[in-house]
Amino acid sequence: MASVRAVADDKARQLPPGHRWSVRPVRLDEFEPWSALFRGYADFYRWDLPDTQRQQIWSWIHEEHLIEAFVAVEVDGSGVEPGPPVGLAHVRTWVRPLRGSVNGYLDDLFVAPDARGSGVVDAIFRELHQVAAARGWPLIRWTTAVDNRRAQHAYDRHASRTAWVTYDMDTPPGAGTA
């Protein structure tokens, strides 16, 4: 069973004095920065991400509330965000009937290449840990590609690997569309 735990970020690159990472829900006026990060995530996995799909997901976040998007931004000592978001996490509620529990599921996690190794991923996991605690989620689960070693190294600092194998079952065309 995976569990998220807070871990000190001893290996992260030190930020300039007075700077830190903040993780917060993406704002309605941040479609373009969110979209750039999500395109980066899709590109990493060599996944086509048409504009219509990004618009649909944005609607899921801000209108239908099917998922939540958190972004990581640098914040200086005076609380100003000097740049755009550099990290992204999509989470949603996940129900486990066998355990009788409501949990979190982390669908997507991405850090811009130039911000990797700076503590962004650790800040995201610290925030997700707080979100889980506030909601009474006993755990947050996620999957990653078997060859994504860099991400696995980061994930191993925050969670326990499971022994579960994941499957995808294709359904008929048009299934799941309204």
User: Where exactly are the structural domains of the chain?
Assistant: 20-156
pLDDT above 70: percentage of residues in the chain = 87
Percent of the chain with pLDDT over 90: 78
Residue 1 pLDDT greater than 50, yes or no: no
CATH class belonging to 20-156: alpha beta
Helix (H, G, I), strand (E, B) or coil at 6: coil
pLDDT higher than 80, residue 14: no
Which pTM value belongs to this model? 0.84
Over residues 60-99, the pLDDT tens digits come to 999 999 999 999 999 998 889 999 999 999 999 999 999 9
- SS3 of residue 53 by DSSP: helix
Q: CA dihedral in degrees (33, 159, 75, 59; nearest 10)? A: 30
pLDDT band at 57 (very low <50, low <70, confident <90, very high): very high
Closest-CA residue to 13 (of 112, 118, 86, 114): 118
pLDDT at 12 over 60: no
